[in-house]
Amino acid sequence: MLQKIEALLKEISGLTATSAEEIEQLRLKYLSRKGEINALMADFRNVAAEEKKVVGVKINELKQVAFDHINALKEQLENRSDEADDIDLTRTPYPIRLGTRHPLTIVKNEIIDIFQRMGFTLAEGPEIDDDLHVFTKLNFAADHPARDMQDTFFIETNPDDVAKNVILRSHTSNDQAHYMETHQPPIRVICPGRVYRNEAISARAHCFFHQVEGLYIDKNVSFTDLKQVLLSFAREMFGADTKIRLRPSYFPFTEPSAEMDISCHICGGKGCGFCKHTGWVEILGCGMVDPNVLEACGIDSSVYTGYAFGMGVERITNLKYRVADLRMFSENDTRFLREFEAAF
């Protein structure tokens, strides 16, 4: 048996083939159910007990050698076929340049990384959702004027029950609503995603863009906690000398609410055209989660408090790279994208 195996090893190692048909015939001869190696396996039962271990190892080795050699023949044949193909005269004579990550992806990943190092976990939800999670559970009443601020794309409308409308989400806060429904505090999540609003496309606005929102709910969470987290984020993203300020604002799902500005990192807060000579640039909205939102999502507002914040990825990217026209992010112009090859 061992002599036969050695003879087959030598025979297989010297096999050659010039066509796919010849390679297939070799495969059938040695590796098929009726092939020579399977025949050896059938004879294996007649091998003496003290020799079975050695013979079994040799048969497995033979099978592997046959498999590898036949695959190598296939690869050689494919390489020869590629070389023999006619030249494509329509192909550019220049080397095809490798792409790079999109600037929005670079900045989004940087934002996520900063908050993950603070203990936030990643949570994502649907871009097509119902009104219940996009608006109603976030304290938007059916006739709330804040609904008009969102310029929502409606896919299906239900006159009898507004909460069942199917829409393209206008903010990633719906991810938070879904998460609060299925998880109990402590909750600390970061929610990135694409959102849609029915706006005229221009250098300063688009019908779709990207957001990153954060949510933290636990016992005794305060506005001071929110301020410290946002200060840490701003300094990680824009530099250790960055200052922040919080201005009172309004959002249906937070109370109190604020807009956060950072000191302009271009002029150092002295005033320039980019910051409209104020020394400050707005980057996000934030606030303490409204108790109505907690209760609507099944969380006891008498026990837990929390904060939420949200920022536009395009806005942060503009601040870091000073992209003048938002449309450039979605035009897929490789000349624009190559400018970010060294950005990650």
142-145 contacts at long range (C-beta below 8 A, 24 or more positions apart): 144/252
Q: Name 261's Cβ contacts closer than 8 Å, sequence gap at least 6.
A: 244, 245, 246, 247, 280, 281, 282, 283
Which amino acid, residue 7?
Answer: A
pLDDT in tens, the chain (344 residues): 677 778 888 888 888 888 888 888 887 887 887 788 777 777 767 777 777 778 778 778 878 888 888 888 888 877 775 555 566 667 666 666 666 788 999 999 999 999 999 999 999 999 999 999 999 999 988 777 767 666 888 898 888 888 888 999 999 999 999 999 999 999 999 999 999 998 888 877 888 999 999 999 999 999 999 999 999 999 999 989 899 999 999 999 999 999 999 998 777 778 777 778 888 989 999 999 999 999 999 999 999 999 999 999 998 998 888 887 888 888 888 888 888 876 65
Strands laid side by side in the 244-251 sheet: 121-122, 187-196, 208-218, 305-312, 280-289, 254-263, 244-251
How big is the CA angle at 168 (ends 165 and 173), to the nearest 5 degrees?
Answer: 95
Q: What is the pLDDT of residue 224?
A: 95
Element (H or E) spanning 245, and its range?
strand 244-251
Q: What is the pLDDT of residue 134?
A: 92
Which amino acid, residue 153?
Answer: F
| Residue of 34, 57, 33 lying closest to 44 (CA atoms) | 57
Tokens 């695959």, located at residue: 71
CA–CA dist 157, 260 (Å, integer): 35
CA–CA dist 284, 317 (Å, integer): 13
The two tokens of residue 63 are 């099978």
Q: What is the pLDDT of residue 266?
A: 74
Buried b (16+ CB within 10 A) or exposed e, 137-147: bbbbeeeeeeb
Q: What is the pLDDT of residue 149?
A: 64
CA–CA dist 25, 230 (Å, integer): 68
Q: What is the pLDDT of residue 184?
A: 93
Q: What is the pLDDT of residue 226?
A: 97
The two tokens of residue 227 are 């301020």
CA–CA dist 93, 114 (Å, integer): 43
Strands laid side by side in the 153-156 sheet: 128-130, 166-168, 153-156
CA–CA dist 167, 219 (Å, integer): 34
CA–CA dist 119, 263 (Å, integer): 26
Q: Name 319's Cβ contacts closer than 8 Å, sequence gap at least 6.
A: 238, 262, 265, 281, 283
3-state helix/strand/coil string of 258-317: EEEEEECCCCCCCCCCCCCCCCEEEEEEEEEECHHHHHHCCCCCCCCEEEEEEEEHHHHH
Output the CA torsion 167→173→177→183 (10° steps).
140
The two tokens of residue 219 are 């016992």
